[in-house]
Structures are given as structure tokens and as C-alpha cells.
Amino acid sequence: MKSKFITFLLIVIIISMPFISPSSESRLETWSKILLCPVCQGETIYDSPSEYADDMKSILKEQIDNGLTDSEINAFWVERYGERIITNPINNNIEILIVPLSVVLIFISIFIRKLYVEK
């Protein structure tokens, strides 16, 4: 019974290791899929065949190897290229979500008021 529990515990630990502390290679792949290539149209630097994207990947690898956090890496690329360099700006700009949702809520409240006023 004890050996089965230890085996199960070891399997759980081995499976969860990539999620607990991601390796530099997985961070490089993740960030390469987030950053858009400024040269190619609509491609990330992960998919881009350009030399410019290769240079960006080497800078990104250097940043990860130097221990920069995700927010520091994000700040570096956004400062250099602007918000359009990031493929998922919704995670970084809450205003992109709040403004449309508030407009929709205003129109829904106006519609409901008109509906009850006419009756």
C-alpha cells in the first residue's frame, strides 16, 4: 500500500514539474508565439522565416537566460515596438474589455427602461 502511494506521488510530481517551474525553452517558445514579427504580416516570430525574427528570438533567449520576468520582457518589447507587437493585448489592456462591456450594459439598461415605461 505504501509503495503504491509513493509511486503515485512520484508520478504526480514528474507530471506537474513543467507547470511548476517552466524551463527556459518552454518560456522561449511561449514568448515566440506571443510576439509578432514586425517584418512579416501577421506572423509571430515563432512562425516567421525572416532573419529579423531570428534576431528577435536571440534577444528573447538572452532575456530569459538573464532571468527577466514576464512583465519585464513584456515591458521591453512594448516599449520598443508598441502594443501591436503583442498578440494578446487583452491580457495587458483591461480597457479593451471594459469600454465595450460598459457600452453594452448602458444600452441594455436603456432598452429595459423603455420596455417598462411603454407598458
Domain residue ranges in the chain: 23-87, 93-119
Q: Could you tell me the pTM of the whole model?
A: 0.56
**Per-residue pLDDT reduced to its tens digit, 2-38:** 677 777 666 766 666 555 545 556 889 999 998 988 8
Q: How far apart are CA 85 and CA 87, in angstroms?
A: 7
**Per-residue pLDDT reduced to its tens digit, 61-86:** 999 999 999 889 989 999 998 888 88
Q: Residue 87 — very low, low, confident or very high, per pLDDT cuts 50/70/90?
A: confident
Structural class in CATH, domain 23-87: mainly alpha
